[in-house]
Amino acid sequence: MIALPASIRVFERGWLSSNNVLLIDSACAALIDTGYATHAPQTVALVRNALGARPLDLIVNTHLHSDHCGGNALLQSTWPCRTLIPASEAGAVRDWDDARLSFRATGQRCERFGFTGTIAPGARLRLGALDWQVLGAPGHDPHSLMLYCAEERVLISADALWENGFGVIFPELEGESGFAEQQAVLDTIATLDVRVVIPGHGTPFGNLEQALERAWSRIAWLRADPARNAKNALKVLIVFKLLEVREMSFDTLLRMCDDAAVLRAAASMLKPRDQWPALLEGIVKELATPAGPLDVDGARILARG
């Protein structure tokens, strides 16, 4: 087990919610990322159990995908906590602009929340009696950030680096650059002195060099054929939705691809619209292997577990 400083506690969540990182010192109790909306009551319970009678003072979002900020609203209504979001997302959140926020485009949901301040690359935060440097992490999301503590050699990497890969490169689905940015983020991480990585999903890990080698290999594989990123995006978003709703029909899945811009873009990169039913059936079949996350019962798609 990887040893963390006493002021850091990680709530490792399932894949519907990102991990939550609680940092506590005498001045502030702060939570990094808040999970998905359907898990928000559980997030509140985890934080309350850890803090006891003490309130949560601060939320910090590494980025605003629904699995990282979906608990913001309930936490804000439970405690009068401040909230810091990436500076480049301030206008979209202030206006709650569906065209700029990713929730509708991915077929997901997030209750409206506010913010009291912003952070950007180069900022410094004092959390858990430790000094943290804010680093830019575009690639998976153009607005994403990481937090690095040089003193304890801890990196909170969000979805820029997991032990086995990283998050979907969403900008590439929208005709924007993302592969090059993800490569640059991995190269930046390689320059840091890191003892432990706290990822957005999965267990904290210490084998940074091996994780980077896997990530570099994956980004090269994706860049060689962008359709691979599109297919991975469809798989990830389909599984995510099934984890939320537990079951749906193939007709409902097809409508979701028509309605959700990111799924529509990914599917369009792979097949013409008239071939989407066969495309989706093939993808679900790949996800419904004996060890896979889904099952199929006639026209119904079911989440396992």
Q: What is the pLDDT along the chain (305 residues), one digit of tens a residue?
A: 789 999 999 999 998 999 999 999 999 999 999 999 999 999 999 999 999 999 999 999 999 999 999 999 999 999 999 999 999 999 999 999 999 999 999 999 999 999 999 999 999 999 999 999 999 999 999 999 999 999 999 999 999 999 999 999 999 999 999 999 999 999 999 999 999 999 999 999 999 999 999 999 999 999 999 999 999 999 999 999 999 999 999 999 999 999 999 999 999 999 999 999 999 999 999 999 999 999 999 999 999 97
Q: How does 195-214 read in b/e, with b if 16+ C-beta sit within 10 Å?
A: ebbbbbbbebbbebeebbeb
